[in-house]
């Protein structure tokens, strides 16, 4: 994020590691950059799955405990339901020409969105910076995030 431009700023905290929760932060960051707004994404807890090389392409949609899926939880526990829900969502995303997560991350990064991992979460998950995608600006502490996001509109996803 540019601290010298005087532009509006947005800081988006990505805390979920499912396919359906990965897109909102990316869509908002992309829209911000298109509007000339400085944007940063901060990945914490399970949101680290979005920037972990081994997990990035394996994100899924789970119907269990997701009332928006419109099915009873008991149906969601049937073997194969997560795979089916994931496949359906990927097809819908592709049909409206939204890129897969890895391409979307590269796209927002190339547009100037700054990407940061949460130091505490990285340490807690036993990850190293080598486990994370190369587009990351770095792994920072919560205090660093507070400094970088000062004056920004903050959205928690």
In tens, the pLDDT along 27-42 reads: 999 999 999 999 999 9
pLDDT, one tens digit per residue, over 41-73 is 999 999 999 999 999 889 988 877 777 777 776
What is the residue-averaged pLDDT of the chain?
91
Domains located in the chain, CATH noted: 9-57+102-156 (3.40.1260.10)
pLDDT for the residue numbered 102: 95
Higher confidence at residue 15 or residue 4?
A: 15
Phi (first) and psi of residue 107, to 5 degrees: -65, -50
DSSP states along 24-77 = HHHHHHHHHHHTT-EEEEEE-GGGGGGTBHHHHTT-----TT-GGG-S-HHHHT
pLDDT above 90 as % of the chain: 74
Residues linked to residue 140 through DSSP beta bridges, in sequence order: 118
Within 13 Å, how many C-alpha atoms sit on residue 2's CB side?
11
Q: Tell me the C-alpha to C-alpha distance, in Å, between residue 113 and each of 58, 76, 92, 104, 126.
A: 23, 36, 25, 11, 26
């Amino acid at each position: 994020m540019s601290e010298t431009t005087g532009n509006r700023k947005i800081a988006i905290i990505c805390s979920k590691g499912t396919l359906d929760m990965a897109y909102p932060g990316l869509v908002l960051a992309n829209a911000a950059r298109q509007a000339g707004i400085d944007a940063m994404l901060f990945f914490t807890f399970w949101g680290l799955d979005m920037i972990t090389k081994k997990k990035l392409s394996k994100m899924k949609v789970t119907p269990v405990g997701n009332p928006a899926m419109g099915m009873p939880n008991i149906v969601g526990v049937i073997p194969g339901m997560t795979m089916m829900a994931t496949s359906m969502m990927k097809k819908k995303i592709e049909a409206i020409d939204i890129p897969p997560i890895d391409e979307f991350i590269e796209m927002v990064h190339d547009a100037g969105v700054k990407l940061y991992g949460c130091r505490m979460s990285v340490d807690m998950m036993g990850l190293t910076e080598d486990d994370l995608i190369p587009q990351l600006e770095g792994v920072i502490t919560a205090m660093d995030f507070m400094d970088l996001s000062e004056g920004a509109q903050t959205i928690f996803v």
